[in-house]
Amino acid sequence: MTLIKRSQLIPGLEVSVVQKHHQRSGELTRGIIDRLLTNSPTHPHGIKVKLTSGVVGRVKELHD
């Protein structure tokens, strides 16, 4: 899996995230980015975002 950088993410982009309680199973939740929560340019576990649905998780996949 490639490392996703903060600079690749903007509000309105569709992504899949893993929520804290799904980290072991790796279950992904798909949604639209509302806000970026991680300030650093990269993070080893993924950039943390809040989706428009209110879900908070770390980005694992980008969608077109």
Q: What's the Rg (C-alpha) of the chain?
A: 10
pLDDT digits (tens, 9 = 90+) for 31-54: 999 999 999 999 999 999 999 999
CA distances, 40 to each of 19, 21, 35, 53, 64 (Å): 19, 23, 14, 24, 24
% of the chain at pLDDT higher than 70: 98
C-beta of residue 46 within 8 angstroms of C-beta of residue 12: no
pTM of the predicted protein model = 0.93
Rounded to the nearest integer, the mean pLDDT of the chain is 96
